[in-house]
Structure 1
Amino acid sequence: MCLEATPPPSPSVTRRGILAGAAALAGTVAAGGTAAATAGTTAGSSSPAGAPRGGNPAGGDLVIRGGTLLDPATGEVTENAVVLIEGGTVRAAGREGTITVPQGARTLDADGQWVLPGLVDAHIHLSTAAEARDAVRKGATSARSGSTTFYQDIAVRELARHSPDLAPRLTAAGVFVTPDLGDTLLADPDLTPLVRLKDGVRSAEALRRVVEVNLARGADVIKTRVNERAGLPEQDPLAQVYSYEQLAEIVAAARRRGKGVLCHSYSEKGCHDAVTAGIRSLEHGAFVGERTLVEMRRRGTYFTPTLSAIAGMIDSPNPILAERGRTYLPLLKRAVLAAHELGVPLAAGTDSSGGTVRPIGREVELMRSAGLSALDAIRTATTGAARLLGVERTVGRLARGFAGDAVLVSGDPLADVTLLKQPTTVIRAGLPT
């Protein structure tokens, strides 16, 4: 079958209809109203991930006062702090007495608590409005999708733009670029011609097609794989499904539109092929080796190890998965520490999916147990992850001009990062969640 003769993906009517369907599947229409389902579906429109088209983010006014403020960028700790949020954006942050608080301003008393910027989950699968809200309540006020089956993450992103307290600020990946798209072929009439391909999505034309359709539907990044899955006992996570040449084709197609690629990976060869093909971030990567880590440092490739997902397999009732968890977790922790010591940028991601949302604080805890300092572990879910998502000027700190997203915890996270697993309060764009 020649895909070159297939018309290019439709950017207009098809996109609107498909995303309305995705919103219905995700439940975002009921959660945030019709506007959330149709926002941003106009042909040719574009904006940075997490920013609404044609206006400022919806948000509230709030003063957080009396807590101890931590700035992950500098490590500075400010006691008896004030954070002034107006219209969902931080207008000022500092010690009490140095900031003028408007009379009658809505105030949150943070006395006895520590105040941090909202956390970033750099690898999560959000398919429903309920999952999105759960992620926020557990501290993830910004996130990057690891793909969904029917573009539900794009619908969740639009919900976040319309009703920020209901969903994280989301960088959407659309549908997975994988050899077997399965039922995803039903998601989009511009993907259905691929059903006739005997070998699945493997040819250069087919790979470009899935990337192009994703971008036409509004995906912010592209998600692909180089290895099979660790979480399915019948699959071999060291088996390679795409070659260097195929990965390079995916990266090139994404780069033509200024987009990056995140790549599911496990084996050292697979990791190396993915990194040298030009991916933006390596996901999982349990068997990544030193030569690949050195190449990642040279290229600025990020490492998102999803430690909590690997750790979660240890408790699986399936003996194959439980053994993988026990074997992979210590390997992955060593890889994380080696990456950190080499200067490879790290980002925290839970790989939550299937209706279960892990707290992003658990990933910070595992980064700490891998050997990072508490502050460096926190940075993987704040400033580091924000840089990966391209939102480092608005996310990851509580400073003037940054998003009014915050998590409050009951003690000092520099002494005990496990506190981040159970925030006492989460603020999204100046709105308590």
Structure 2
Amino acid sequence: MCVDSVPPPPGRVTRRGVLAGAAALAGTAASLSAAPSAAAAPGHAPGSAAARVGDLVVEGGTLLDPATGDVTEDAVVVIRAGIVREAGARARVEIPDDAPRLDAHGRWVLPGLVDAHIHLNTAAEAREAVRQGATSARSGSTNFYQDVAVRELARQAPDLAPRLRAAGVFVTPDLGDTVLADPDLTPLARLKDGVRSAEALRRAVEVNLARGADVIKTRVNERAGLPEQDPLTQVYSYEQLSEIVAAARRGGKDVLCHSYSARGCDDAVRAGIRSLEHGVFVGERTLHDMRRRGTYFTPTLTAIAGLADSPDPVLAERGRRYLPVLKEAVRAAHSMGVNLVAGTDSSGGRIEPIGREVELMRASGLSALDAIRAATTRSAQLLGLQRTVGRLTRGFAGDAIVVGGDPLADVSVLKTPLHVVRAGFALKAFRFRL
């Protein structure tokens, strides 16, 4: 059965209702109504839909610029209306008298980190991600468009959520209960073979685009985190992946692809995906192709390492076996010049610190600076935010973390930020289990 006889998704007709439901599920509407009042952006009245922004001076710390590797001692970062106005050595920066101060003496100051693969289903998860240092992120999809709601929360109240690129719902053969997320997905529930035909694949992508997805998430293999599935089993062919990529590109969007097997990774890259997710058994030839095409690699080492701690013996064995293979793939990718980005693949209510992914990349053979770049400048490029995220310099977002030690000597300090600054607001960092 095909779906090409069904009219295309109307976008504005049902979008408001669909996203209102997503906001209710995510709890973002409640978060906005309960949030304390703050200054609105210039030109907007307090209490309007404009983002709340902050003024702040972060002074006295050692400032690291991931783009250049430059280190500036006794530095000052001046944030006005959520944007960096000046940053550098104290002697070269004019410090305003009327802005709140954050004392960073004896600490290191870095731009806020970017989690390039995370599943944020609730406002509470979004808030926790920020307080663990992820001030920007890319969604790995949600079941009912909760990430789109979280993105809107971040725009209006940036202190409550990371700046987010939303993926909407997963383009996968079996949508399951996700068909309940949107009236325009229900025709897909009647398909005997699931979302596999060219028409069905296009429909799934088009519905996501109509609901405001920034990227499209699909898969080529089954999941590693479910013991009953074999992550080396391929669920979409090269031709099907190409159909998804083509539909996304018609809407001006890129595709990230959940991948494990060597053939699956190769098919996904040849189909034109923007980033390969997980990629445990990616082959050398595929890595060379990724370098040539500019395809990004998000290994999600944190998620794979977490499998080894599972009480399920199948998952624990899978984690122990996969992690060293993936570390070697990361090392090989880096040596070939593939763009590596950091993503935790946090999901299920537990948000892992993005600093843990940096630590695992360092353990895979990257230098400390290159591992930090994977969670700052490189991820910012993937998200299309390279002019606003990943550095603390004039015109960039006023997002920062303050850590208790030298991250170039020990990247593990990134797992436990002492302070997090989001859009000029100094937030209390979480103290979480490691």
Q: Settle same-fold status: TM greater than 0.5.
A: yes
1:219 corresponds to: 213
Whether contact under 8 Å (1:115, 1:407) holds in the other structure is: yes
Q: Secondary structure at the match of 2:92?
A: coil
Moved more, 168-177 or 11-20: 11-20
CA distance in 2, matches of 1:408, 1:112: 10
Q: Secondary structure at the match of 1:185?
A: helix
TM-score, scaled to structure 1:
0.95
Whether contact under 8 Å (2:2, 2:191) holds in the other structure is: no
1:131 corresponds to: 125
Alignment of 1:274-423 (within 5 A): 274-423=268-417
CA distance in 2, matches of 1:245, 1:261: 15
2:250 corresponds to: 256
Deviation at 1:33, TM superposition (A): 3.0
CA distance in 2, matches of 1:18, 1:354: 22
Q: Secondary structure at the match of 1:81?
A: strand
CA distance in 2, matches of 1:379, 1:33: 36
Among 235, 241, 246, the residue aligned to 1:247: 241
Instruction: Specify the code of the residue in structure 1 equivalent to 2:25.
Output: L
CA distance in 1, matches of 2:280, 2:50: 40
CA distance in 1, matches of 2:343, 2:189: 32
Whether contact under 8 Å (1:139, 1:426) holds in the other structure is: yes
CA distance in 2, matches of 1:108, 1:391: 26
TM-score, scaled to structure 2:
0.94
CA distance in 2, matches of 1:2, 1:327: 41
1:102 corresponds to: 96
Number of residue pairs the alignment of both structures matches: 415
CA distance in 1, matches of 2:362, 2:50: 36
Q: Secondary structure at the match of 1:90?
A: strand
1:43 corresponds to: none
Whether contact under 8 Å (2:50, 2:156) holds in the other structure is: no
Deviation at 1:11, TM superposition (A): 1.1
Deviations 1:319-338 (A, max 9, x none): 11000100000000000010
Deviation at 1:32, TM superposition (A): 1.1
CA distance in 1, matches of 2:30, 2:76: 36
2:8 corresponds to: 8
1:169 corresponds to: 163
Q: Secondary structure at the match of 1:414?
A: coil
CA distance in 1, matches of 2:14, 2:323: 43
Q: Secondary structure at the match of 2:9?
A: coil
1:18 corresponds to: 18
Q: Secondary structure at the match of 1:254?
A: helix
CA distance in 1, matches of 2:2, 2:319: 42
CA distance in 2, matches of 1:257, 1:207: 14
Deviation at 1:220, TM superposition (A): 0.1
Whether contact under 8 Å (2:135, 2:163) holds in the other structure is: yes
Whether contact under 8 Å (1:57, 1:88) holds in the other structure is: no
Deviation at 1:57, TM superposition (A): 4.6
2:79 corresponds to: 85
CA distance in 2, matches of 1:323, 1:292: 26
Whether contact under 8 Å (1:124, 1:145) holds in the other structure is: yes
| Structure 1 segments (4+ residues) deviating >4 Å | 54-57
Aligned in 2, Cα 1:383/1:55: closer, same or farther, shift over 3 Å? farther
2:228 corresponds to: 234
Gaps of at least 5 residues in structure 2 are 36-47, 428-434
Q: Secondary structure at the match of 2:339?
A: coil
